[in-house]
A and B are shown apart, each in its own frame.
Chain A
Amino acid sequence: MTYLSILLTAILTANFVLSKFLGICPFLGVSKKLNTAVGMSAAVIFVMALSTAVCYPINNYILLPNGLEYLQTIVCILVIAALVQLVEIILKKFMPPLYNALGIYLPLITTNCAVLGVVLLNFTEGYTYLESLVNSVGAGLGFMLAMVIFSGVRSRLESCDVPKFLQGLPIVLIAASIVSLSFMGFTGLVEGLLG
């Protein structure tokens, strides 16, 4: 039950993009078309889960016992960068179809703050290994949900007559504000559902 509540919280109530402001750059930059939005989010889910799977044991079995918590940031970002490169090379070599679908987004993800954010937040929340993984996948799914919804909003926005003052990026941000407002409606949902 706790896993379900962690998952739902990460997707809906504490959505990474819309309430924690992590991963805004791709949210605004890559959400113009539905298929790129989905491809990018799928790659994000994959990298989030993978980097949590690798960083968690490194933190708990190497850094913490030796009193090296202060190296967390630097170690995590290096592990993520290396992992992303590695995955890209492997996909390119052995799974070209998957590479064409997801691989092209991978280099953009290294510097995505949502990935490093979820890894670091898992440490501070004190989750177990499995809980961390669930939280990471949930955060990724939440990212995907926000991206997909927002790409829909943006495609409608294209055909709207926007006041000149707000044309371009400003109206996109205001649309994001309204989407984020709708996500606030999920407040209390998880507690209500799962007691």
Chain B
Amino acid sequence: MKKIKEYAAPTVVLLVICIVAAFLLAVTNNVTAPKIAEVNAENEAKARLVVFSDAKSFGEESINADGIKLVPALDESGATIGYVVVTVQKGYGGDISVMTGVDLDGGVTGVSILSMSETAGLGANASKDSFLGQFVGKISGITVTKNAPAENEIKALTGATITSNAVTAAVNAAIEAAGGENIG
């Protein structure tokens, strides 16, 4: 009898603690999950407007054959004037998720970084306007340079060539994806 108590008591207590903990977490999750989804949706909507400020509204998102997410940008009359494309590239510290606005001529209207885990102070500077602003107006086949940028070239971030290359590759992929959509 004593033995049963010796083994049962810790098990029961631990089990009760686990059940209570799981219950509490489930409740909190129910409360916060819609809020988190809302925040994410809001952020995405904001980011879309940043990369494609001419658009009045956005259409239904679609995923193309390569798994790239495309959202058509619409003007007042609802006609498509370009696409907002989300592409992912491997950076220095992991995946970099980039949102690019591309107009119907294949020109970049704006670039924004949705998520990345680059080194603070070096690669993380990629989210600054002074870097991302360079992409506006560029067309397919953008290259990165460490010197003064010529036509269709981007000046790399100091000490973060890998990040610069990854963002540029993501933008190029976005232009291609949007172009493919136009022809199709």
Contact = CB atoms under 8 A, between A and B. Distances in A.
- Indicate yes or no for A touching B, C-beta below 8 A: yes
Interface of A: 13-14, 19, 70-71, 74, 124-126, 187-188, 191
Contacts of B162: 188, 191
A71 B25 contact: yes
A14 B123 CA distance: 14
Contacts of B94: 124-125
The interface residues of chain B, by DSSP majority, are classed as helix
B22 A71 contact: yes
Contacts, number: 18
Interface string B94-121: 1100000000000000000000000100
18 contacts: A13-B92, A14-B93, A19-B119, A70-B25, A70-B28, A70-B29, A71-B22, A71-B25, A74-B21, A74-B25, A124-B94, A125-B94, A125-B95, A126-B95, A187-B92, A188-B161, A188-B162, A191-B162
Contacts of B119: 19
A187 B118 CA distance: 12
Nearest to A192: B162
A73 B22 CA distance: 12
Nearest to A191: B162
Contacts of A74: 21, 25
Contacts of B21: 74
Nearest to B21: A74
Contacts of B92: 13, 187
A187 B119 CA distance: 11
Nearest to B36: A70
A5 B151 CA distance: 33
Contacts of A71: 22, 25
Contacts of A19: 119
Nearest to B160: A187
Q: Which 6 A-B pairs have the closest CB atoms?
A: A70-B29, A191-B162, A125-B94, A70-B25, A188-B162, A71-B25
Contacts of A14: 93
Interface in B139-184: 161-162
A113 B119 CA distance: 20
A13 B161 CA distance: 14
A13 B25 CA distance: 37
A124 B115 CA distance: 12
A128 B161 CA distance: 27
A70 B119 CA distance: 27
Most buried by A among B21, B28, B94: B94
A71 to B, nearest CB: 6
Given A187-B92, A188-B162, A191-B162, 14 more contacts: A13-B92, A14-B93, A19-B119, A70-B25, A70-B28, A70-B29, A71-B22, A71-B25, A74-B21, A74-B25, A124-B94, A125-B94, A125-B95, A126-B95
Contacts of B28: 70
A70 B22 CA distance: 10
